[in-house]
Chains A and B, each alone.
Chain A
Amino acid sequence: EVQLVESGGGLVQPGGSLRLSCAASGFTFSSYDMHWVRQATGKGLEWVSAIGTAGDPYYPGSVKGRFTISRENAKNSLYLQMNSLRAGDTAVYYCARDVGLSILDVWGKGTTVTVSS
């Protein structure tokens, strides 16, 4: 079964850091581009970052310079290092598999990040 499982969420103070992980199983992880997408309570989906099969990262302006996406193919794992966190980063963070042209066909259940003092 193709599966993505996120972990690492929690409560962090403004300005703090957190590292999210996404464990992939049931498919050849190294062959796929991967994404992080977040959703604040009651809000829509927001793309957070992507990483290509060659390890090339992509970010929107809202997180560029603060977030770092990475992957470890030997461990079938995707990561998101989040620094300088703000209240506006509070959301459920999903990892998702890209089967081409930003078609996200498999999603994890998400992990919740709360930035609050």
Chain B
Amino acid sequence: SSELTQDPAVSVALGQTVRITCQGDSLRSYYASWYQQKPGQAPVLVIYGKNNRPSGIPDRFSGSSSGNTASLTITGAQAEDEADYYCNSRDSSGNLYVVFGGGTKLTVL
């Protein structure tokens, strides 16, 4: 099965821009989705597809992809964006196999 690799931790100053990356072979075939998870809560989808936001997700969240790397960018990070962020995609083997990244802890300073 495939694997997705994320940096364990990233920090950003309040109001600045931060990029969280996700690398893996499956991303050459499938877009990554991104999930935000705050302590004690279920994950929330924030970006999917080429660069799509579900209803209610602020437009400071955006996504991009190149080769085997997907990125989640937060432009003008807010205190409430401090959370764990996970990427996932369909596994390279297809069907409904899923792979998740290990997660990135975002700290807003």
Contacts and interface: CB of A to CB of B under 8 A. Distances in A.
Contacts of B54: 105
A107 B43 contact: yes
A50 to B, nearest CB: 4
B96 A60 contact: no
Interface residues of B, number: 28
B33 A103 contact: yes
B44 interface: yes
Given A101-B90, A102-B33, A103-B48, A47 B99 contact: yes
Contacts of A110: 42
Given A104-B33, A105-B54, A94 B96 contact: no
A45 B45 contact: no
Interface of B: 1, 30-31, 33, 35, 37, 41-45, 48-49, 54, 84, 86, 88-90, 95-103
Interface of A: 33, 35, 37, 44-47, 50-52, 56, 58, 60-61, 94, 98, 101-105, 107-110
26 contacts: A33-B96, A35-B96, A37-B100, A44-B103, A45-B35, A45-B88, A45-B100, A47-B88, A47-B97, A47-B98, A50-B98, A51-B96, A52-B96, A56-B96, A58-B95, A58-B96, A60-B97, A94-B43, A101-B31, A101-B89, A101-B90, A103-B33, A103-B45, A104-B88, A105-B54, A107-B43
